[in-house]
Structure 1
Amino acid sequence: MSSKKNKVNLSQYVKEFSYNIKLAYPVILGMLGHTLIGIVDNFMVGKLGSTELAAVSLGNSFIFIAMSIGIGFSTAITPLIAEADAEKDNQKIRTTFHHGLLLCTILGFVLFVVTVLSKQVMYIMQQPKEVADLAAPYIDWVAFSMIPVIMYQGYKQFADGLSKTKYSMYAILLANVVHIFFNYVLIYGIWIFPKLGILGAALGTVLSRIMMVVFMHYLMKRNADLKKYFKNFSFKEIKKSILKKIINLGMPSAMQMLFEVTLFTAAIWLSGSLGKNSQAANQIALILASSTFMVALGLSVTAMIRVSNTKGLNDFKQLIVVARSIFILAILLEIFFAILFVIFHQVLPHFFLNMSDASQLVDNNEIIAITSKLLLIAAIFQISDGIQVVVLGALRGLQDVKIPMYITFVAYWVVGFPISYYLGKYTELKAVGIWIGLLAGLTIAALFLYIRFARLTKKLAMQQHQS
């Protein structure tokens, strides 16, 4: 009898999988498109020399931190839109979109100014002077691209909230085409274009991000169902109460993302202090783990949309089923990736290294040895990472952001970073020790975020049952 009941229970989750995947896959492809912009920069700039590559890498670490704040903040728009969509309240959708886009534009300008002003940190951190001098103008230009990027996020989160996740995928793919073209002609000076080196890479990024917003705006404005939301924007309609509601949801979400991104940035800097081979191994393992993390991130957006929808319908019993179906799907997919990492942990590093260069043989062998160990930890850690990010998406869908912000801060910076620092600096584990700290932080976050979600939804379901 109990096995039959379990089968019924499991089947109610499994039948949600196809819709979850349908919503998630455009988000995943869009995220990979964002990553591709960075990969193209590294690949094309790498041909100029190691100093230029180091400058772009250093510059992008500043941009990445600023961008995480903007992206985290913008996620406040999705649950509000998705809830209003379930309630079929077009006025609420329109108002949230206009207020959210205004706040994203203002935040883009703020992040641009703050990033440009923070350049001096490179010199305080005692980065090599020739690298920092090259990185400074690169940062100025790419920081300017914060404005269109965060505006794009306003459009994206609006579209996601209406379960129209394909628009951002199309915009990113088109932006990548623009980016590859302008990067190529401006870095190397092809045809009528000047040879600008890494400044060319920065300008290519700026132009592609401006086009990303333009593509997104026109793709959505041409849709018959969405046209009504784009008409008659007026500053007279802006209300302090709605701005406050979005800010109250957006700021804790921005902090959650900042805590995680700065933890990983700290891991990169810690690895760098152990030597270039440890840093290279850390970078390879991080690229591989980040690629599989995109799948969990896509499911996190799906959780945010679907939980908000069911919250708008006041169906908390179905909300729990929907959320659990996404959690189970994320765990299954991350376990599959974990198995791949374990099987190929000694093979994968070879793809990132020039194995035909005899002068690099000793370094390459050391990098492969370190990376293969890191990938074994990454196999376990991505399961924790996948769980914490999908549960975080579900909690955002419930518009519960403050307690999760405290949970992520404690998990990453009170537990994770001290372990990474101690094991990396003061034991023989070195780079492996840094990753054990990351694993500990992510596992604590996953556990306590899930406890938070389970308690909250149980309470909401009981209240609904009693009423």
Structure 2
Amino acid sequence: MLAWPLAITNLSQIALVLTDTLVLGRIGELPLAAATLGGNLYFIALAPAFGAAFAASAMLAQERGRVRHHMREMRRTVRAAAWLGIPLFALLGALLWNTGAILVAAGQDPALAAEAQRYNRALLWGMPFFYGFAVLRGFLAALERPVPALWVSGLAIGLNAALLYLLVAGGFGIPSLGVMGAGISSAIANGSMLVALAGWIMLDRKLSRFRLMGRFWRADWRRIGEMVAVGLPIAGSMLLEIGIFSATALVMGWISPSAVAAHAVALQVASACFMVPMGIGQAATARVGLAAGAGDAIGAWRAGWVAIVLSGGFMALTATALLLLADQVAALFLAPELTDTRALAATLLMVAGVFQLSDGVQAVAAGALRGLKDTRLPLLFAALGYWGLGLPIGLGLGFPAGWGPLGVWIGLASGLAIVAVLMTLRWAQLAGREGPALRRLTAQPG
């Protein structure tokens, strides 16, 4: 199956962040809170890169589905994605370099903001490599060969853990660099993933024939324009989704460092669970795109619904686990003396368990829609669900109602549920059993 290697690859990547959280949580609340705030801003900055990479994945899948001249077309798309990344990361790097000023302007404690800046100034150097890895992973997914990316990600986890031991935990007597050491280790791990996966493709007899970087100096402006047109709404949707969790971290910073640390634990666990439906959604993009490119409406319909049902089943299991084992999971991340923080983290983990199903369904429905290059309405759904309803509900329950962090997370759960319903209804509209709307889309791919 295509979905499970992609899902496990995503789990491998979130394991990099989880490892950082585990190590920093044992050092203290301040380093963990600083890495959480810095990491949230980092992922906000990554949203445009995700948009470009996911747009490239959809285009690659449809190009392969059309079969004729697919090798040449796929090479042009990968090259266009690389061109697009150059100005993208010049802007994003400048944003992250000024993390401290941004967080202070957002009302965060200056000492916390300064630590978050140290983390991001190290972490940002790995961002272009992560983007390159994501583009190549989309290329392999379109060819239905996701396993190399899985192996590369697994090796990166081991490298990151070793570097954390040296740079953060002070292994072999090396002075600890704190949060900056965690940023350095993650950046190096991201760099290793791109180098290893690109090397794998170059050494593979069949894959090397694509000559992905051949004539790199020739910019395909039409294809870059199409990637921007498809990718901007994806980036906007991801920015809204990532941004709501980042905004929540900022709100927690208004409450206390303890609230930020508890939020970090719950968010990392929820994010780890989310990596599986995200992988299934990526597989749905590839399968639906392949079918759309080939003009197979029923095949696209089947791929989308199977992915949604599969994700819903998996997330029902993770919801049950989080509801039953919240205390034990929180204890893995926080030192025993942080009893109040651990109790709050366990409470937030139970809320995360409640929104697991809706989070998984909306991710896969969005992935299926990307396979049809249907990205504009999902952007509006994200704006309405996360920011129009979810955040106001969370702020209302958190402050005027006096529920604190619990109320803010209930707002998150409400927003995710709304987006899940809207995304699924949109997919049902385009991919009804008879599929008239889907047939029109597959008749005119791209």
TM over 0.5: yes
Where 1:150 maps in the other structure, the secondary structure is helix
Partner Cα distance (2:318, 2:24) in 1: 30
**Alignment coverage as a number of residue pairs:** 439
List per-residue Cα deviations over 1:53-102 (Å, max 9, x = no partner): 33333322221211233123210011111111122222111111111222
Q: 2:436 aligns with which of 459, 462, 465?
A: 459
Q: 1:221 aligns with which of 198, 202, 209?
A: 202
Residue 250 of structure 2 corresponds to residue 269 of structure 1: yes
Structure 2 residue aligned with 1:302: 283
Q: 2:95 aligns with which of 97, 110, 114?
A: 114
List per-residue Cα deviations over 1:386-412 (Å, max 9, x = no partner): 111100000000001111111111111
Give 1:347 deviation, angstroms. 4.5
Give 1:427 deviation, angstroms. 0.7
Q: How does 1:380-395 map to 2 (within 5 A)?
A: 380-395=354-369
Structure 2 residue aligned with 1:80: 59
Structure 2 residue aligned with 1:312: 293
List per-residue Cα deviations over 1:229-267 (Å, max 9, x = no partner): 226622453221111011111111111111001101122
Where 2:98 maps in the other structure, the secondary structure is helix
- TM, length-normalised to structure 1: 0.86
Structure 1 residue aligned with 2:396: 422
Partner Cα distance (1:143, 1:466) in 2: 42
Q: 2:45 aligns with which of 66, 75, 86?
A: 66
**Larger gyration radius, structure 1 or structure 2:** 1
Q: Give the 3 Å change call, closer, same or farther, for CA 445–50 of structure 1 in structure 2.
A: closer
Partner Cα distance (1:127, 1:273) in 2: 7
CA contact under 8 A between 2:359 and 2:420: conserved in structure 1? yes
- TM, length-normalised to structure 2: 0.90
Q: 1:40 aligns with which of 19, 31, 54?
A: 19
Q: Give the 3 Å change call, closer, same or farther, for CA 160–337 of structure 1 in structure 2.
A: same
Structure 1 residue aligned with 2:214: 233
CA contact under 8 A between 2:26 and 2:333: conserved in structure 1? no
Where 1:238 maps in the other structure, the secondary structure is coil
List per-residue Cα deviations over 1:287-333 (Å, max 9, x = no partner): 33222211111111111011001101111122112211111111122
CA contact under 8 A between 1:82 and 1:163: conserved in structure 2? no
Partner Cα distance (1:276, 1:56) in 2: 12
Structure 2 residue aligned with 1:133: 114
Alignment-mate amino acid for residue 450 of structure 1: T
Give 1:285 deviation, angstroms. 2.8
Where 1:233 maps in the other structure, the secondary structure is coil
CA contact under 8 A between 1:108 and 1:148: conserved in structure 2? no
Where 1:75 maps in the other structure, the secondary structure is helix
List per-residue Cα deviations over 1:337-357 (Å, max 9, x = no partner): 2222333345543444444x4
Structure 1 residue aligned with 2:193: 212
230-239 or 164-173, larger mean C-alpha shift: 230-239
Q: How does 1:51-200 map to 2 (within 5 A)?
A: 51-88=30-67, 89-187=70-168, 196-200=177-181
Partner Cα distance (2:334, 2:54) in 1: 37
Q: Give the 3 Å change call, closer, same or farther, for CA 147–30 of structure 1 in structure 2.
A: same
Structure 2 residue aligned with 1:28: 7
Partner Cα distance (1:27, 1:92) in 2: 23
424-433 or 121-130, larger mean C-alpha shift: 121-130
Give 1:116 deviation, angstroms. 1.2
Q: How does 1:364-383 map to 2 (within 5 A)?
A: 367-368=342-343, 370-383=344-357
Alignment-mate amino acid for residue 418 of structure 2: I
Alignment-mate amino acid for residue 289 of structure 1: A
Q: Give the 3 Å change call, closer, same or farther, for CA 413–231 of structure 1 in structure 2.
A: closer
Q: Give the 3 Å change call, closer, same or farther, for CA 231–245 of structure 1 in structure 2.
A: closer
Q: How does 1:339-378 map to 2 (within 5 A)?
A: 339-355=320-336, 357=337, 360-361=338-339, 363=340, 367-368=342-343, 370-378=344-352
Structure 2 residue aligned with 1:258: 239
280-289 or 252-261, larger mean C-alpha shift: 280-289
Partner Cα distance (1:216, 1:85) in 2: 20
199-208 or 238-247, larger mean C-alpha shift: 199-208
Give 1:159 deviation, angstroms. 1.6
CA contact under 8 A between 2:126 and 2:190: conserved in structure 1? yes
Residue 433 of structure 2 corresponds to residue 433 of structure 1: no
Where 1:31 maps in the other structure, the secondary structure is helix
299-308 or 23-32, larger mean C-alpha shift: 23-32
Alignment-mate amino acid for residue 57 of structure 1: T
CA contact under 8 A between 1:341 and 1:375: conserved in structure 2? yes
Give 1:336 deviation, angstroms. 2.1
Q: How does 1:321-336 map to 2 (within 5 A)?
A: 321-336=302-317
Structure 2 residue aligned with 1:411: 385
Partner Cα distance (1:405, 1:198) in 2: 34
Q: Give the 3 Å change call, closer, same or farther, for CA 352–313 of structure 1 in structure 2.
A: same
CA contact under 8 A between 2:101 and 2:113: conserved in structure 1? no
RMSD across aligned positions (CA): 2.6
CA contact under 8 A between 2:386 and 2:415: conserved in structure 1? yes
Give 1:181 deviation, angstroms. 2.6
Partner Cα distance (2:436, 2:226) in 1: 23
